[in-house]
Amino acid sequence: MSGASSKIIEFIDHKTLIESRGGLKPESKSGEIEFKNVSFAYPTKKDVKILDKVNFTVKKNQVVALVGKSGCGKTTCVSLIE
């Protein structure tokens, strides 16, 4: 496996060491992941948007692939989901 695909497999297999005792939780769980007008820039380069008004929905049990050139935000999307 290469780059991003190994990161995704690692994410799926990950067992958290952080104990959750409450705090912010989703109001409900539908099994969907939805990005609505998501924009993102790293704090050190606030003028360079990695993501700019990105929209997509991943339905429960749907398999998707994020594709694009290096630096276009694929890994950032996965990191934001984490």
Q: Give the pLDDT confidence of 30-70 residue by residue, as tens digits.
A: 788 999 999 999 889 889 999 999 999 999 889 899 999 99
Would you state the pLDDT for residue 58?
93
Count the neighbouring beta carbons within 10 Å of the beta carbon of residue 77. 19
pLDDT reading at 19 higher than 70: no
pTM, two decimal places: 0.58
